[in-house]
Structure 1
Amino acid sequence: MNDQSERRSLASTRVTRAVAGLSTKLLLLTILFVMVAEILVFVPSVSNFRRQWLMERLQAAQIASLAAEAAPGGRLPAKLRDDLLDRARVKAISVKHADSRSLIVQMDAPEQVDASYDLRDASWTDLIGDALMVYAAPDNRVIRVAGEPGFNPGEMVDVVMEEGPLKAAMLKYGLDILGLSILISIITATLVFLALDWLLVKPMTQLTRNMVRFAEQPEDPTRIIAPSKRRDEIGTAQRELAAMQNELSQTLSQKTRLAALGLAVSKISHDLRNMLSSAQLLSDRLAEVKDPTVQRLVPKLIASLDRAIRLCVHTLDFGQAQEAPPSRMRFELAPLVEEVGDSLGLPREGQIDWMPDLEEGLEVDADRDQLYRVLANLCRNAVQAFESEPGCIGTISVFARREGAVVMIDVADTGPGVPEQARDRLFQAFQSVARKGGSGLGLAISAELVKAHGGQIELVDNEGGATFRITIPDMVVELERARQRRA
């Protein structure tokens, strides 16, 4: 018992850790995916920033070129030249028109160019690659940039410049974007995590914990999950789990009850068999009495005792809930029906009329003892229905006929009928009890015995009393059905 408790405690701990792990993984994955999204936004943003920054330099260089072209003789004083180049943040400027190219202004000592870029024909992939290279390039690189600023259509401006200021600007822009991305990632991840935790993780936590708790004592109805009113998959899972737990709890309770009942029946059957054996010896002595009434009743009494002893023996031999397989033979049905009436004291004058109506010489292919139990259960239920209604007077009728290789037996009464709440589970053990103090086994046993014969039992009429119909095919028909099922 202690080992089982430890295993369940360990299972509960594992579930708790698993749920905690699920929450942590969900948070980390949310942050990761948001960061990936921010990176996908960051790369083209940096590329666009670099392009705009270079275009601003080209525009400033174009303005400087206009000032240089307006100078007398096309030459600028050195101080003004350096001032224009410094404002444009470039080292040299050249302008290309449709039919000519001219160097407008440059530093005194031209520098070696490390890389050249043409913004006119650059694709997005080229711009992204060039932008990322800026972060890895040395700080002292000199680059050449060509493009069309747009002031004069068809005019291309070509500048030589240091890449250091561009790299510094891109680093500052990247850090700003990075900080903003981290802030957005944290806020977005937190909101997404809280939403998913509320929608998924917490309901899953409740489901798993309930399953572990229910597994500890599945027969305890208080441990069945109370489903929410959600209409999504989680709500469906909760409702289906509740239905499954309800069914399992009821099944286990019934199994426990049946197990206890089976043990009790075995004990009772053992002692009852001894009592019946003693009663059988006494009935044999009654056979010596010459009274006509005694002579008429003693054979029936002996037959009933024999039947009861065989039933006790079968119960002890099989030791299980299933009935013994039927030992079938053809016999006349009328004497059996008469025996059922005598055993129940029918008719009862002024209370219950007894009306058997059978085809003359009708024979049935069945186990005589088992069919007796079926008819006795049905007729006894009818008698008890009359007894439950004080002052109720009625009739119990038994009709039987043969249709080809099938015998149909109807047991009808004019009593109160079967209550509505008992009809759905009429032939289930412990489920169809309509009379206080009953066990609910009579109809369940009858249904099992009839099914063993390949037949069926059903409630065919409940107006003005209950009518049950028993259908029993001959052995030949049942063998043919079995052969077809195997084929």
Structure 2
Amino acid sequence: MAGSEANETGKSKTVQLKWSLSTKLLLLTIAFIMLSEVLIFIPSAANFRNNWLKDKVAMAAVAAVGVTTFDQREPPRVLQDRLLAATGAHAIAVRSAGLRRLVAMDRMPSSVDISTDLREIGPLTSIMQTFETLFASDGRTLLAIGTPPEGGEALEVIMDETPLRADLIAFSINILQLSLIISFVTAALVYISLRALFLKPMEALTHAIVAFRDAPEDKASRVVPTNRTDEIGLMEQSFSDMQEQLSDTLHQQKRLADLGLAVSKINHDLRNILASAQLFSDRLSDLDDPLAKRIVPKIFHALDRAVNYTKSVMDYGKAQEAPPSRRRIHLRKVIDDIGETLALGDREDIDWYIACDDHVELDADPEQLFRAMLNLCRNAIQAMESDNRPEVIRRLSVYAMQADVGILIRICDTGPGVPEKAKEKLFQAFQGSVRQGGTGLGLAIASELIRAHDGTLRLVESDTGATFEIFIPMPEQEQVLAAK
């Protein structure tokens, strides 16, 4: 069912990509170029109409010069017919000194439908009259007024607008065809360029994102950044880095899941083994031996801690940690208990130094504080044991002091220190290990336990070895009293 749902989801997403970026880009490019052609066509058509009329008026002006040389009041009929046929006009007149002299006429129209003064026509008027001509019906009468021959005020030509409309429509069709060709050629060039520069890298990133979503652990879905230095190059590099980080996180989560599964499997058997060890310890307590009576309680305590630790490790694998049960405790006794657990008092290869007054108290969970400090001390011992040369001093020191608003604890060693690479992710599980083969769980657990006490755990810069500083604040009521 889950697989079918996933397939259905994938299909629906594929359907949503029907209008891809490539299709949208091509259509938008054609649309915008056509819009540009329309904006170019409008003034071009108006200019064509004006030039057509100016040519007709110019022809009539040249003819009028010859006709006006006759002394007769009216030119011969044959000459008028030739003039009107050449210009395509119904009537031609010259206006001078307020008088209109008729140059040629075949018939006088009853009315003039539209008048155009070519001497002072503006762009807006020209465009409006052009659209009127395009959408007008045939048979309209047009009066064109232009520059007359020398000595006149105006030359008036009355003509049928139908030939002008036919030529204007033919011009518009030619412009439309040319615009379509230019639009498709330009759109193709723009589309090919933008697809190569932007769309193909974006499609590759899209496919990589989908593949990474479906199989994040598959290395074949990784994006290999190109040498581009623009925004797409930055996107490729950022996505590649994100894939690496997510893959590392998923790998860590898998290790945590495997750890939790392994612990849950062995937890039952380990508890049985510890229970058997507790039974044997009970028998030792019956012995009338002072040494046994002194050691057996510590064995009991160690076994109880071991049982609790198995549960704690499982809880950590589940990313859960019990909230601290805070009590008023003596810090020196916790430190002494750590020394006995690690048998530091009996070791000759490591100096165990404690600088903590007996009266230092703090508000904390004794078991969790013990675990946090034990992890730090065990890490310090393991670091110092990596160099077993006899001339090397191995010393583990614990300093504790009362601060104004809390307790400050420092755990110092004379080991090789923390590598620079490990400092970046020092308190992250499986990443912050300071030694070869380590898991980094000790520091991660210690940091989590100290944070649960509202405290801080940090690495302090030191000349030799490593120094970890724990700060646990005192309760708010005590801070208020201390401030007073």
From 220, 239, 242, the equivalent of 1:241 is 239
CA apart distance, 1:203: 2.6
Aligned to 1:28: 27
Offset of 1:247 from its aligned partner? 2.8
Instruction: Indicate if the aligned counterparts of 1:11 and 1:212 stay in contact, CA closer than 8 A.
Output: no
Distance 1:221 1:292, change over 3 A: farther
* Paired amino acid for 1:410: R
Deviations 1:80-101 (A, max 9, x none): 2222222233222111124322
| 2:128 alignment partner, SS class | helix
User: Which letter does structure 1 place at the counterpart of 2:332?
Assistant: A
The separation in 1 between residues aligned to 2:223 and 2:194, in whole angstroms, is 22
1:346 corresponds to which residue?
A: 344
In structure 1, distance between residues paired with 2:441 and 2:188: 60
Write the distance in 2 (CA, Å) between the matches of 1:314 and 1:286: 28
SS at match of 1:160: strand
SS in 2 for 1:126: helix
C-alpha distance in structure 2 between counterparts of 1:317 and 1:396, whole Å: 30
Residue 10 of structure 1 aligns with an amino acid whose one-letter code is K
CA offsets 1:176-200 (integer angstroms, 9 cap, x no match): 3222212211121112222232233
**Residue in structure 1 matched with residue 7 of structure 2 by the alignment:** 6
C-alpha offsets along residues 141-161 of structure 1, whole Å, 9 cap, x if unaligned? 433222225x53762011122
Q: Which stretch of structure 1 is more off in the superposition, 300-309 or 232-241?
A: 232-241
1:438–1:131 distance in 2 versus 1, CA, 3 Å: same
| Distance apart, 1:318 and its partner CA | 9.3
Gaps of 5+ in 2: none
2:87 is matched with 88
Q: How far is the alpha carbon of 1:67 from its aligned partner?
A: 1.2
Give the aligned partner of residue 459 of structure 2: 459
User: In structure 1, what is the Cα distance between the partners aligned to 2:161 and 2:42?
Assistant: 19
Give deviations 1:31-56, integer Å, cap 9, x for gaps: 12211211221122111111111111
SS in 2 for 1:471: strand
Per-residue CA shift, 1:306-330, capped at 9, x if unaligned? 2222333566789833221112222
Instruction: Quote the offset at 1:263 in angstroms.
Output: 2.0
What TM-score do the two structures reach when normalised by structure 2? 0.90
On the 8 A contact 1:355/1:397 being kept in 2, the answer is yes
Contact 1:95–1:158 at 8 Å: present in 2 too?
yes
* Whole-Å separation in 2 of the counterparts to 1:241 and 1:14: 25
**How has the CA–CA distance of structure 1 residues 292 and 417 changed in structure 2, closer, same or farther, with 3 Å as cutoff?**
farther
Q: Displacement, 1:413?
A: 0.4
Cα distance change on mapping 1:28 and 1:18 into 2, 3 Å: closer
What is the identity, as a one-letter code, of the residue corresponding to 1:396? L
Instruction: Look up the SS of the partner of 2:142 in the other structure.
Output: strand
Consecutive unaligned residues of structure 1, counting only runs of 5 or more, are: 481-487
Amino acid at match of 2:164: L
Q: Aligned to 2:202, which of 204, 209, 215?
A: 204
State the alpha-carbon separation in 2 of the partners of residues 183 and 452 from structure 1: 73
> Aligned residue for 1:163?
161
| Alpha-carbon shift at residue 28 of structure 1 (Å) | 2.0
Contact 2:88–2:159, Cα closer than 8 Å, also in 1: yes
Partner amino acid for 1:469? E
Aligned mates of 1:171, 1:317 — CA distance in 2: 85
Structure-1 separation of matches of 2:100 and 2:311: 121
Q: Is the 8 A contact 1:262 1:321 kept in 2?
A: no
Counterpart of 2:417 in structure 1: which amino acid? G
Partner of 2:281: 283
Letter in 1 for 2:466: A
Q: Residue 485 of structure 1 corresponds to which residue in structure 2?
A: none
Cα distance change of structure 1 residues 433 and 78 upon mapping to structure 2, 3 Å threshold:
same
Partner of 1:48: 47
- Residues 100-119 of structure 1 mapped to structure 2, 5 A cutoff: 100-107=99-106, 109-119=107-117
- Provide Cα deviations, 1:237-273, integer angstroms capped at 9, x if missing partner: 3333333333332222222221221122223222222
> Which residue is equivalent to 2:415?
415
1:134 Cα deviation after fit: 2.6
Structure 1 pair 138/455, CA: closer, same or farther in 2 (3 Å)?
Answer: closer
Offset of residue 59 of structure 1: 1.5
Mapping of residues 308-327 of structure 1, within 5 Å: 308-313=306-311, 320-327=318-325
Where does residue 272 of structure 2 map in the other structure? 274
Taking a change above 3 Å as real, the CA distance of residues 252 and 86 of structure 1, as seen in their structure-2 partners, is same
Question: Structure 2 vs 1, CA of residues 277 and 175 (structure 1 numbering), >3 Å: closer, same or farther?
Answer: same
**How many Å separate the matches in 2 of 1:17 and 1:106?**
66
Q: What secondary structure is seen at the aligned counterpart in 2 of 1:91? A: strand
Shift in CA distance, 79/424, structure 1 to aligned 2, threshold 3 Å: same
**Partner Cα distance (1:287, 1:8) in 2:** 67
Instruction: Provide the residue aligned with 1:59 in structure 2.
Output: 58
What letter is aligned with 2:296?
V
CA displacement, residues 106-135 of structure 1 (integer Å, 9 cap, x when unaligned): 22x434445231324543333223222333
Give the corresponding residue for 2:70: 71
Q: CA deviation at 1:170?
A: 2.1
Amino acid corresponding to residue 386 of structure 2 in structure 1: S
Q: Residues 330 and 141 of structure 1: is their aligned pair in 2 closer, same or farther, counting only changes over 3 Å?
A: closer
Q: Deviations over 1:268-321 (max 9, x none)?
A: 222222221221222232234455544433322221112222333566789833
Further displaced range: 110-119 or 184-193: 110-119
Cα separation, partners in 2 of 1:453 and 1:189, compared to 1, 3 Å: same
TM-score (norm 1): 0.89
Q: Secondary structure at the match of 1:327?
A: coil
| Equivalent pair of 2:414/2:465 in contact (CA under 8 Å) | yes
The code of the aligned residue for 1:242 comes to S
What's the RMSD between the two structures over aligned residues? 2.7
Number of the residue aligned with 1:189: 187
Distance 2:398 2:219 in 1: 44
- 1:400-479 equivalent positions in 2, closer than 5 A: 400-476=400-476
